[in-house]
Amino acid sequence: MSEALHIGIAGLGTVGASVVRIVAEHEAVLTRQCGRRLEVSAVCARDRIRDRGVDLAGMTWFDDPVALAKSNAIDVFVELVGGEDGPAYESVKAALTAGRHVVTANKALLARHGVELARIAEDKGVLLNFEAAVAGGIPIIKTMRESLAGNTVSRVFGILNGTCNYILTRMEREQIPFEDVLADAQRLGYAEADPTFDIEGNDTAHKLSIMTAIAFGVQIAADDIYLEGISNITLADIRAAGELGYRIKLLGVAQRTDSGIEQRVHPTMVPKSSVIAQVHGVTNAVAIETDLLGELLLSGPGAGGKATASAVIGDIADIAKSRPGFQHGPVFGTPADQLAPCERAAMRAHEGGYFIRLTVHDRTGVFAAIARRMADNDISLESIVQHSDPDNTDPTAPKTVVLVTHETTEAAVRKAVDEITGDGHLIDRPQVIRIERAD
């Protein structure tokens, strides 16, 4: 049997401690599967005294993750520090430069520096594995990078943030306002004290940018992603979607178009009959559309200590099974030097159906004026319905107009809504939600 694979872990939070525990508790099966023993021989954390519920005796402690990354005592550097710059970036770069394999769960780091780090890894002939950075325990990176060889991907989309999916699920099932569900999510640990990164779509965007690079052979372009969060989704939207046969999900979508790669993160209405509409709670799901397989859907836990640690262990196991001198595949499926610039497709050219909710003054001609503005912009309507609050008997109370369009362009919808706003018919901010084909 080969010599043990020595692992150094920087960051002993929930995931790091889980990795240490799994390596120890599953030693026999991991040794049998990998053909060599896995040994966590060195760790780095800010607090040496804290009880993490795992045995760290006999492991070498480092106060500086960069020093750990450079240590000749390890074969694999596992970065679980977090953050796109600072110690995470410096230590990963140091490990790769020193010819050390790296495993990371850091989506922000890869979204910012992934191509640069991939070049170093490929130049040094080492592995940079990051399954845990996207969709937690779902093996989406391995699937896209290895199992779909020969397939041409046309679209990849999915639910990539468990916090948002949990909030939208409870809003629908229990008819609880966004703010109240968010407070519960924070209390239960599903949302951070500052939830902005999750609920405004940034977390999903980082993950989507990584998948886009693999799917289409382009450089990571996280800053080019069209971004909308879920903080403006109301119970009125949830109810209207349900009445129309849809469910609202925060989706990350990347697809190849005639004008470039379209990347977008936003609340989306998906048919209740679609598979992705059945993904509830903190669960994640990713769909990949290819020329050979058609649509492939993977679903599972997208976060949490065990799920993320499972993905980290899988990446370490791949390294353990590799052999010295073996030519490793490209980090993003295409050699880093051959990744094409990501030509951004303008979101305003996006084509699809739309849900539009307008709160309007109850006066003669408003309904007809709205329909006319839609027609002026060549927007065909599938339905237009006026709702009144049954509990409000005031005949002059505002009315809600809900429109569902046939396929049209983003530019046409935005122009029509701007014109309706300019006409002075609206009382409140208009709501526009895209309808996504998800069959």
Which positions are catalytic?
207
How far lies 188's CA from each of 183, 229, 357, in Å?
Answer: 9, 21, 32
Query: CA–CA separation, 228 vs 430, rounded Å?
Result: 15
Six-digit token pair at 168? 């939208």
SS3 366: helix
Query: CA–CA separation, 232 vs 335, rounded Å?
Result: 40
Q: Which amino acid is at 213?
A: A
Q: What angle do CA 275, 218, 132 make, to 5 degrees?
A: 55
User: CA end-to-end span of the chain, whole Å?
Assistant: 48
Angle between helices 14-25 and 305-321 (to 10 degrees): 60
Query: CA–CA separation, 185 vs 163, rounded Å?
Result: 7
Q: What angle do CA 12, 188, 284 make, to 5 degrees?
A: 75
Six-digit token pair at 226? 């069209």
Query: CA–CA separation, 20 vs 309, rounded Å?
Result: 9
The strand pairing partners of 284, in sequence order, are: 300
Query: CA–CA separation, 96 vs 124, rounded Å?
Result: 7
SS3 93: helix
